[in-house]
Amino acid sequence: MRPAPLLAPLLALLLTFAAPAAQAQTPSPPAPETLRLVWADEFEADGPPDPARWTFDTHANPTGWYNNEAQYYSAARPENARIENGLLILEARRETLDPARFPDHGGQNYTSARMVSRGAGWTYGVFEVRARIPCGRGTWPAIWMLPVALESWPGDGEIDIMEHVGHRPGVVHGTVHTGAYNHVAKTQRGAEIAVPDACDAFHRYQVRWTPEAVVFALDDVDYHRFDNEHTGKPAWPFDQPFQLILNIAVGGDWGGAEGIDDAVFPQRMEVDWVRVWQVE
């Protein structure tokens, strides 16, 4: 069992939001003591993910997933999502399931899992996921957030804590999407950071979200900041509860831009913990 997190050393990423973006590559000072751990999963019990904390999103299986992705997302299937030796394993596989057993199957030739946090979600906070990600060509792992009450995308917002595409191994992206700034319009706001051992070592992928900014960090070092312009919802829809999502997509417009290498499968994202803090 892991020791309980110590706020000050663990949350050194809480750089005061008054700091200029030019200091983004400097380590952050200790966290204020007013933060409280409000939600966590340490993945300590082998077996399926905790159904009190997580659900599986499978809604687009029959018609195919967004961005022309190639995977079928299974629900509570251990081949695609399980806990082993203190780690959550999300596994993308090259296989075609039997529609007689999986009636929502849409003819996909790959399987994976897309897990969504349960509950009311969080408005503002510090979000941290310690993970090791896959690098096979055609994989597209993500740690991200959408509104609990999502009605329209991109107007309701999206926070991508970590994205990685296998044809660019070792390059991690942190991005926000809004009505004004999104990848469809090619106006998304984000940055990338080189993480040469992202597929071999665990790293902490982090976001600090306040009413004034969303700041992206890796292992307590900031690398991107998106500020609230105070011009309205099209630029800043981030004043509502969001939920966490963990998944590995296969192929797609970005993940499959250089094809899918079937020889690399299965591919895993291993997650050591997911933790959320908020100001008391």
Residues 6 or more apart whose Cβ sits within 8 Å of residue 203? 130, 131, 132, 195, 218, 219
User: Distance (Å, rounded) from C-alpha 160 to C-alpha 244?
Assistant: 10
Contact at 8 Å (CB) between 94 and 248?
no
User: Distance (Å, rounded) from C-alpha 163 to C-alpha 23?
Assistant: 23
Which one from 84, 158, 192, 212 is the annotated catalytic residue? Answer: 158
Residue 23 DSSP label: G
User: Distance (Å, rounded) from C-alpha 50 to C-alpha 70?
Assistant: 27
User: Distance (Å, rounded) from C-alpha 244 to C-alpha 264?
Assistant: 27
Token duo for residue 217? 């960090």
Token duo for residue 83? 């806990």
Alpha-carbon torsion, ordered 161, 166, 167, 171, to 10 deg: 40
Which one from 163, 192, 212, 258 is the annotated catalytic residue? Answer: 163
Does residue 163 have an active-site annotation? Answer: yes
* Three-class DSSP category at 244: strand
Contact at 8 Å (CB) between 269 and 29?
no
Q: Please give the angle made by the CA atoms of 71, 253 and 139, to the nearest 5 degrees.
A: 50
**Following DSSP, what letter does each residue of 174-220 receive, concatenated?**
EEEE-SSS-TTTT--EEEEEE-TTTTTS-EEEEEEE-SSEEEEEETT
Catalytic residues: 158, 163
